Amino acid sequence: MTTTLPVTGDRFKPYDVVVGRGLLAELGTRVAPLVRGRTVIITDETVALLHGPAALASLQAGGVRARLLTVPPGENSKSFAELERVIDRLLDFGLDRRDLVIALGGGVVGDLAGLAAALYMRGIDVVQVPTTLLAQVDSSVGGKTAIDTPRGKNLVGAFHQPRLVVADIDLLATLPERQIRSGWAEVLKHGLICDAAFFDWLAGEGAVGSLGDPAALTRAVVRSVEIKSAIVGEDEKEAGRRALLNLGHTFGHAIEAELGFDEDALTHGEAVALGCALAFRYSAAINLCATADADRVSAVLAAAGLPTRLDQAGALSAVGLLARMAGDKKAEGGRLTLILARAIGDALVDKAVDRDAVLDFLRSEGAA
């Protein structure tokens, strides 16, 4: 069964997110109506070996001329140097404004290829074909593209909506278990933001999705895309409600940056899980939500094999983490912005967070 979910908004051209099984074989048929010239698949070296030949064969069968451009796997590819190299290769290939980029990979490839497409000749079309759970439920939808800098994660980027997103659940079967769990953190986050019933299902019957069950994964991806697309349609450029999608990310991004974006130490999804646990515990510490809700969130995350305590990420400095959080792109006028919660399924944006209170909280959580 294939589900097609429209993403619509006042400020961008509508597009579809297609979720189902066996969709990579249909890529050429689905992309052909969007192609006016040539196509370049941007992918990483690992995904190129796993799925590159099938993607090229599908495009060829659909009458689409395509070639492959690979980047090294891992967060380090989200850099100025790799962005420059990708754009230079697109120029070598002679792409023009009629042409199309396909991002075949996880969040790193989606962000890098999306930003390259946004910048190339002031913008060419991009199709997202996410190959990780995290990318299928989050980064491939909504048009956020970015690279990292030594000062923090995703600080240089652009909003560039895709023309189409093709989420093939079968591609998730090639993922290591740790990557499934990492993506599951973003799924749980969607329930925590605005759908307590979804969170209940994820914590109960749907928990098999964190172990790779295809039916549960399909339902989780579809509902996550429904939640995210509704929010993006209201607020494309994060002027208001879209900030809720960053639950756990301000803490999580700070931790990732302090660790030097070392994915062996902590994946992005693991950082988000830890950030969600911290956001709920901080909300409880300031009497915004019940301690029982914060405890339940940590228990569900831990049951999915995700970190919930700072000491699971290593030795961290409270002052260093706070400095990273102050440099987060959501901070305004030197004030911290955090996504907090009144309850499971009821998140809010707090743009006037007390820095000293956060510093004390981080120390109480074990940061030095």
Catalytic residues, which ones? 122, 144, 186, 228, 238, 242, 246, 249, 253, 268
Burial per residue of 159-179, b for 16 or more beta-carbon CB atoms within 10 angstroms, e otherwise: bbbbbbbbbbbebbeebeeeb
Q: Distance from CA of residue 165 to its chain's centroid? A: 14
The span from the CA of 314 to the CA of 343, in Å, is 29
Instruction: Give CA separation, 229 vs 7, 111, 226, 320, in Å.
Output: 5, 17, 5, 34
- CB burial class (10 A; 0-12, 13-18, 19+) of residue 359? middle
Structure tokens at 100: 């199309």
Query: Using alpha carbons only, what angle is made at residue 176 by residues 214 and 82, rounded to the nearest 5 degrees?
Result: 115
Helix 355-364 / helix 268-285 crossing angle, nearest 10 deg: 110
Q: What is the DSSP string of 122-135?
A: G--EEEEEE-SHHI
Strand partners, 336: 353
